[in-house]
A and B are shown apart, each in its own frame.
Chain A
Amino acid sequence: MDTGAAIAGLGITDVGKVYGRSARSFAAEAVRLAADDAGLGLADLDGLLVSAGITGGIGIDLAQDLGLTDLRLLTQMNAFGATAGAMVAHAAMAVMSGTASAVACVFADAPLRPGTSAGAAYGGRGGSAGEWHGLQGYAAAAGMRSVNAMYAMAARRHMETYGTTSEQFGAVAVGQRAWAAGNPRAQMREPITLEDHQASRWVAEPLHLLDCCLVSNGGVAVIVTSAERAAGLARPPAHVWGWGQGHPGQRMTRGSAFGLRTGAVTSGASAFKMAGITAADVDVCEIYDCYTYTVVITLEDYGFCAKGEGGAFAASGALGPGGSLPTNTGGGQLSGFYMWGFTPLAEAVIQARGEGGERQADRHDVVLASGNGGILAHHATLILSPHVKGS
């Protein structure tokens, strides 16, 4: 009986302000760690999927760095923050079709340099020599100087339309920081209060500093194989029950749902249907959190609360430790580390295995991991479980 695919190995390098190493070095180490975690040798891998971050520091020549030979699947993928989910889905399809039998999926990036700010590392539009070019230059001169500003524009629309407040965004930040206290890998583990959130400087109003994700150096990899094979390997499998993608392609014109609805609507529905579940069956959520606002709108679009009520849902305490829907249990990208979609994916695997230590959610039969890329333009969803699909 075909019981689908599973994640059999997870590798996470040192992450955060880790200097003096290249993205290639992080990527190679992450793959080695993931294979070792699964109880596999590198020679057992016959597939490799590569995702580079903002610096573009890795590509398919990673296979050579690792000495991988006779691969049956090798490619680089990019749907920005939605890449991790898309990679695992691609790897699962490869395994289920017989294209490959053990596929490593890896992300690595190293944008941080000693003495430079996270914002500078992520390339805010500074306008060289104080000049601005073309229509993008005009928009930047007007105030749209970074990705932060574009998300701020989306967040403000949500606030204007549904009455969402900055304090409700703050509840997401406070809850995730509380989770991060239980994650030894988290970059930010000191507790914060709503007052701290409100007092943190504006990055791009309405987004405070504590609404924004970290920037990290490091690498993460997972090994995808068949559920049958995973059962005989070293670690408890995280079975891949379902996946989906959503790319709304919204036109910026009258009637656009920009800032109000994301690809999570389509992506979530596809993943839930494939997994044979509904939102009510999800025990743990690992939601892509480039910003607190992204968590709010994504939870709405998945149907964990009604449209427009994501802010109130967060403010109710539902997402933090002890809440009804444990969300971003490792601190997410706001407080844990920023490895694009591999941050939620890695924590989803840890939670599905029941290896979260003091941050482990009591119930973890169904774990959701999301990815979001561009300015809410790309979305991917994975449903993971410690149980074989259909069991």
Chain B
Amino acid sequence: MHSGPVRRDDRSAGFFDGAARGELMLRRCPSCSAWYGPDARGCPDCPGTEPGWAASAGTGTLVSWVVAHGRPGPDGATPEPDVAGLVELAEGPWMTAAVEAPAAELRAGLPLRARFERPSEGEPYPVFVGS
């Protein structure tokens, strides 16, 4: 990732607290135990429940990805592109996440695991790398 710092908001506090501990946090329904992505707002099967946070194993596979090419900066140099992946976690949910892998190795089904980046400014965040 080549952009500025990521800041928490109320809905993402549990996610970034987990990242600080080295844990990939997902949402989990307290009633039916179904797993959801970290941005889920509720469990459609259990109205009225508030999904809590639960730690994922932090492993998954690549479903799809986008290569975000930057524009040349003031010095004329084009930054290395970012790769955003759609990752299917072992627990089932998909999440959009930063992926670090050589472009030639990207493919659907690529096994991935989360490691955690701790920038000097902003929240720590997961980056998925080949496992």
A interface residues (Cβ-Cβ under 8 A, vs B) = 127, 129-145, 149, 152-154, 156-157, 160-161, 201-202, 204-206, 252-254, 256, 258-259
Contacts of B15 in A (CB 8 A): 135
A131, A135, A145, A253: the one contacting B38 at CB < 8 Å is A135
Interface residues of B in 1-36 (CB under 8 A from A): 1, 3-9, 11-12, 15, 35-36
Q: Would A254 and B88 count as touching, CB distance under 8 A?
A: yes
A6 to chain B, nearest CB (A): 40
Q: Would A133 and B9 count as touching, CB distance under 8 A?
A: yes
Given contacts A142-B1, A153-B64, contact A131 B7 (CB under 8 A): yes
A131, A133, A149: the one contacting B66 at CB < 8 Å is A149
A140, A154, A205: the one contacting B67 at CB < 8 Å is A205
Contacts of A160 in B (CB 8 A): 64, 107-108
Given contacts A138-B12, A253-B92, contact A143 B4 (CB under 8 A): no
Given contacts A149-B84, A204-B66, A205-B69, contact A141 B7 (CB under 8 A): no
Q: Would A142 and B69 count as touching, CB distance under 8 A?
A: no
Interface string of B94-131 (1 = CB under 8 A from A): 11111100000001100000000000001001000000
Given contacts A202-B67, A204-B66, A252-B37, contact A129 B4 (CB under 8 A): yes
Q: Would A127 and B125 count as touching, CB distance under 8 A?
A: no
B interface residues (Cβ-Cβ under 8 A, vs A) = 1, 3-9, 11-12, 15, 35-39, 63-69, 81-86, 88, 92-99, 107-108, 122, 125
Q: Would B1 and A139 count as touching, CB distance under 8 A?
A: no
Question: Given the complex of chains A and B, what is the CA–CA distance between A145 and B82 in angstroms?
Answer: 11
Question: Given the complex of chains A and B, what is the CA–CA distance between A69 and B108 in angstroms?
Answer: 57
Closest partner residue, chain B, to A254 (CB atom): B92
A138, A154, A206, A253: the one contacting B94 at CB < 8 Å is A253
Question: Given the complex of chains A and B, what is the CA–CA distance between A202 and B64 in angstroms?
Answer: 17
Instruction: Tell me whether chain B's interface is mostly helix, strand or loop, or mixed.
Output: strand
A152 to chain B, nearest CB (A): 4
Contacts of A132 in B (CB 8 A): 3-7
Contacts of B36 in A (CB 8 A): 253
Q: Would A142 and B38 count as touching, CB distance under 8 A?
A: no
Q: Would B11 and A143 count as touching, CB distance under 8 A?
A: no
B83, B94, B95: the one contacting A256 at CB < 8 Å is B94
Instruction: Using A131-B122, A141-B6, A153-B66 as known contacts, list a sample of 6 further A-B pairs with CB atoms less than 8 Å apart, ordered by residue number in A.
Output: A134-B9, A137-B9, A138-B97, A153-B64, A160-B107, A252-B93
Q: Would A142 and B98 count as touching, CB distance under 8 A?
A: yes
Top-7 shortest CB links A-B: A130-B4, A143-B84, A143-B68, A205-B67, A142-B98, A160-B108, A134-B9
Contacts of B92 in A (CB 8 A): 253-254
Question: Given the complex of chains A and B, what is the CA–CA distance between A199 and B122 in angstroms?
Answer: 37
Given contacts A135-B15, A153-B86, contact A144 B3 (CB under 8 A): no
Given contacts A132-B3, A135-B15, A141-B1, contact A153 B107 (CB under 8 A): no
Q: Would B66 and A141 count as touching, CB distance under 8 A?
A: no
Contacts of A254 in B (CB 8 A): 88, 92-94
B13 to chain A, nearest CB (A): 9
A134 to chain B, nearest CB (A): 4
Q: List 20 A-B contacts (CB under 8 A).
A: A130-B4, A131-B4, A132-B4, A133-B6, A135-B15, A137-B6, A138-B98, A142-B84, A142-B97, A142-B98, A153-B66, A153-B86, A153-B96, A157-B63, A204-B66, A205-B81, A252-B86, A253-B93, A254-B93, A258-B94
